[in-house]
Structure 1
Amino acid sequence: MTRESLEHRLQRLPGGWGVGRLGDLPAVQFIGYGITRPGAHTEDGVPMIRAADIQEGRLRGDEPRRIDHRVHETNLRSRLEIGDLLVVLVGRVGETAVVGAEFHHWNASRTVAVVRANEPDEAAWLNLWLGSPAVRAWCERQATGSTLHRTLSLTALRKLPVPIPPAGLRAPLLRAVRLLEEKTATNTRIARCAMDLGEAHFAREPRDGTSWPERPLASLVHLTAGTAPRPRPDDEGAHAERGTAFVAPADILQSESPHLYATERRLPPGKEGRVCAPGSLLVASREDGVRTVMNQVPAAIGRNVLALETESVSDAYWLLYELCSRSAELAATAQGSAGRELNRRAFAATTVRWPPQEVREQFVRLAGSLHERARTARRENEKLRDLRERILDGFLSGTFPGKTADPLEDLTSGGAR
């Protein structure tokens, strides 16, 4: 969306609406950023939300950075409360998520802004507005800095225009959005449980040391090191649908799913070089372990990413689980102070116990069905996200909740198909 389209949207608001700046709204109690100097990771410390922990409108708390309790106590202004809205300030600027009960009294890093409203409906309305594509694009335009360190200032965030509907008009909208969020959360749990079941089944597979030979990875896969150039902000097609997905280590390391469906950047046609087909295994590393995902779209891989292409689907699924189960061990194949540079030769020499074909095929029949269930849940969430955007568009144009008195009926009729 262009800047003009956002302004045009606000100019076309129904009668009786207003527009205010985020920082000037009476409902907003606090806008600030998190801890500037968190110090070293402390195993028994207070968890801290970073920009990388905010993905697709949700908070991830599986591998939190933890800060010393003394650091936390001296930074209580950024201590999180239930209902706080978090906004990414560095990198994927403008991405947002709401603090739930499981993150109560965590803290936040400097890469995240904390927006606190004075009551739940105000927070829900701000979350809906800030989570819209138009606002995300607005934040991108306000950001400064290089591709790797795009930064949105608090000054700019406070100037974000926010539509203000007449009193009492939001109730059916927020009710409908809550239903969508509940269904989205259910789908997310289904996908996570499906992956957990796959891991549990793989862990139960018997390893027969006498009959399963040890094979180096180099003999099982075609292994390629990434060389694609990182897209520049001014590259035509860097954000376009027609470009080829560019995979950086962060895309792999920050992926909550073992499937990689999309990336932040794209390479325009003619600049992608060699492209990995869907079903390839993509690997990246950091000091605490190696992360492996299976890409679902054609992808060009950048530096410090390895691509493993197998001869069959059963080989790919078996190796996906094998590499994931040995994440910490495989960190030894990386180099550099932060363990970010995978050594292609060392990784290729890694040996695995290789089961007979019938064992791999039997495993993929179960694992494949679980992965398909997870993909179905994700597809449903994508449709729910689109529906949420249409509902917001309808509300801003004065056509929601429609002809019926019950927004649930509108959602389950034509608009939800």
Structure 2
Amino acid sequence: MADVGVRVLDCDHRTPLAQLSGHPYIAIPDIQDGRVTWGTTRRISDEDLVEWTRRTRPQRGDVIVTRRGRVGDTAALLDDRPCAIGQNLVILRSDGRAVHPGYLRWVTRSPAWHSEVARLLNVGAVFSSLNVSDMSKIRLPFPRLGDQRAIAEVLGALDDKIDANSDLSRTLNDLAAEYFSQSVQAAGEGPTYGNVADVFGGGTPSTKTDDYWGGEIRWATPTDVTALQAPYLEDTSRHLTSAGLAACASELHPAGSILMTSRATIGAFALAGGPTAVNQGFIVVRPKDSQLDMWLFHEMQSRVSDYLAVANGATFLELSRGRFKTMPVRWAPEDVMRQFGAIARPLHERARAAMHESRSLATLRDTLLPELMSGRLTVKDAEHAVEEAL
């Protein structure tokens, strides 16, 4: 990369103190799916921002690379917001003469990139790493600058639509939450969660029994939920067989069940998109009256501070299912709760549809990426595929 004007800029090998507010300090966990998840970044002060960017000041067009743990994951900076990068991250920056910054964003997510990372990887007993000095040795395909720009525009169009869908989903969820905050003003202390819903826990079948794993039954862990951009769980990272489900202390919960993480991270939520089993890190709520599902979902989302107040545990906080079931629900007149559901449900359906479209677009993007980088697919053919999808 050094031969084509791409510099490797190292981080400051210290960590500043976290603040309640301030500027983003990007760490490895904040690099997800080619992006920085700004909402998860720790915050640092004005003074520390100056101190931690003396060596490297991130700017639009930079590509951030993880070089320990999840080695080789990348995220492009798409704006000029003030921020700093954390330890074990580096920045790739093109001077623009031979490598278009937009193309650099995509080529560092291609099979050729991951092949080069694997070639230069230092495998350790605890974690693997990539030396900063080796990164300039990475060899990647760089077609003519005009072709690079065209490839970046094709793939960027899909990402722009994915971003728009994420914004739409977030707005729709915010609208539903705002309407709930107005509707709940008519509520008083009512029955307990155990009175108005069936409340379940979960479990993990033996991970040593291969026959339990690799089936088609969704089995959720808290990580599946905390990684979501919107509260709709359509699939899980691991799946059970029928034998695994039978050996698991979890029922197969139907679509629409409310999943809430209940240990370590308490109060991350999702609505099950299909039949789903869960591990022991969840409380699952299935309203006895299905028309009150939206009311209970938003009621639970708005009560996280109450759950944290009654959680306990020596190693990590946990909200017990028994304690949760005894907690009172804010209960409004039935017509108010049903009217809320009639308004909130279409908002969530539209938000879920937007995220579903984004998953399809991401699949198309990830299919086109290696084909464009290898030259097996022309830009014109890719543009046609994108036009049909959009």
Could you tell me the TM-score, scaled by structure 2's length?
Answer: 0.80
Kept in 2, the 8 Å contact 1:93–1:143? The answer is no
Partner of 2:324: 347
Q: 1:78 to 1:361 in 2, by over 3 A?
A: farther
Kept in 2, the 8 Å contact 1:247–1:299? The answer is yes
Are 2:287 and 1:314 aligned? no
Residue of structure 2 aligned with 1:180, choices 120, 140, 158: 158
Are 2:366 and 1:389 aligned? yes
Kept in 1, the 8 Å contact 2:212–2:244? The answer is no
Per-residue deviation at 1:139? 6.9
Q: 1:301 to 1:409 in 2, by over 3 A?
A: closer
Partner of 1:46: 23
Residue of structure 1 aligned with 2:61, choices 74, 83, 87: 83
Kept in 2, the 8 Å contact 1:237–1:243? The answer is no
Kept in 1, the 8 Å contact 2:61–2:77? The answer is yes
Q: Point out the more displaced range, 67-76 or 179-188.
A: 67-76
Equivalence map 1:239-254=2 (5 Å): 242-254=215-227
Residue of structure 1 aligned with 2:198, choices 222, 229, 241: 222
Per-residue deviation at 1:90? 6.4
Q: 1:74 to 1:176 in 2, by over 3 A?
A: same
Distance 2:203 2:346 in 1: 34
Q: Point out the more displaced range, 129-138 or 281-290.
A: 129-138
Distance 2:277 2:88 in 1: 28
Kept in 1, the 8 Å contact 2:22–2:45? The answer is yes
Runs of 5+ consecutive residues of structure 1 not aligned to the other structure: 1-21
Q: 1:201 to 1:276 in 2, by over 3 A?
A: same
Kept in 2, the 8 Å contact 1:244–1:266? The answer is yes
Residue of structure 2 aligned with 1:303, choices 280, 290, 293: 280
Q: 1:213 to 1:341 in 2, by over 3 A?
A: closer
Partner of 2:309: 332
Per-residue deviation at 1:267? 4.2
What secondary structure, in the 3-state scheme, does the structure 1 residue paired with 2:329 have? strand
Per-residue deviation at 1:322? 0.7
Partner of 1:64: 41
Per-residue deviation at 1:369? 0.8
Distance 1:303 1:319 in 2: 21
Per-residue deviation at 1:205? 0.4
Per-residue deviation at 1:136? 6.6
Per-residue deviation at 1:199? 0.8
Kept in 2, the 8 Å contact 1:277–1:298? The answer is yes
Q: 1:249 to 1:237 in 2, by over 3 A?
A: same
Kept in 1, the 8 Å contact 2:186–2:333? The answer is no
Distance 1:237 1:152 in 2: 30
Q: 1:62 to 1:160 in 2, by over 3 A?
A: same
Kept in 2, the 8 Å contact 1:93–1:151? The answer is no
Q: 1:134 to 1:169 in 2, by over 3 A?
A: closer
Q: 1:162 to 1:257 in 2, by over 3 A?
A: same
Kept in 2, the 8 Å contact 1:85–1:98? The answer is yes
Partner of 1:37: 15
Distance 1:289 1:34 in 2: 33
Distance 1:49 1:313 in 2: 42
Partner of 2:232: 259
Distance 1:267 1:255 in 2: 21
Partner of 2:271: 294
Aligned-pair Cα RMSD in Å = 3.8
Distance 2:186 2:287 in 1: 23
Partner of 2:171: 193
Q: 1:74 to 1:320 in 2, by over 3 A?
A: same
Partner of 1:126: 104
Per-residue deviation at 1:384? 1.9
Q: 1:246-286: per-residue Cα shift (whole Å, max 9, x none)?
A: 42223333433122233444445533423333212111257
Distance 1:220 1:140 in 2: 53
Distance 1:337 1:381 in 2: 40
Distance 1:111 1:305 in 2: 33
Distance 2:219 2:116 in 1: 23
Residue of structure 2 aligned with 1:202, choices 164, 180, 186: 180
Aligned-residue sequence identity (percent) comes to 25
Per-residue deviation at 1:193? 0.9
Kept in 2, the 8 Å contact 1:318–1:360? The answer is yes
Equivalence map 1:371-382=2 (5 Å): 371-382=348-359
What secondary structure, in the 3-state scheme, does the structure 2 residue paired with 1:170 have? helix
Could you tell me the TM-score, scaled by structure 1's length?
Answer: 0.76
Distance 2:161 2:355 in 1: 11
Kept in 1, the 8 Å contact 2:299–2:330? The answer is no
Kept in 2, the 8 Å contact 1:285–1:341? The answer is yes
Kept in 1, the 8 Å contact 2:261–2:281? The answer is yes
Runs of 5+ consecutive residues of structure 2 not aligned to the other structure: none
Per-residue deviation at 1:195? 0.8
Partner of 1:27: 5
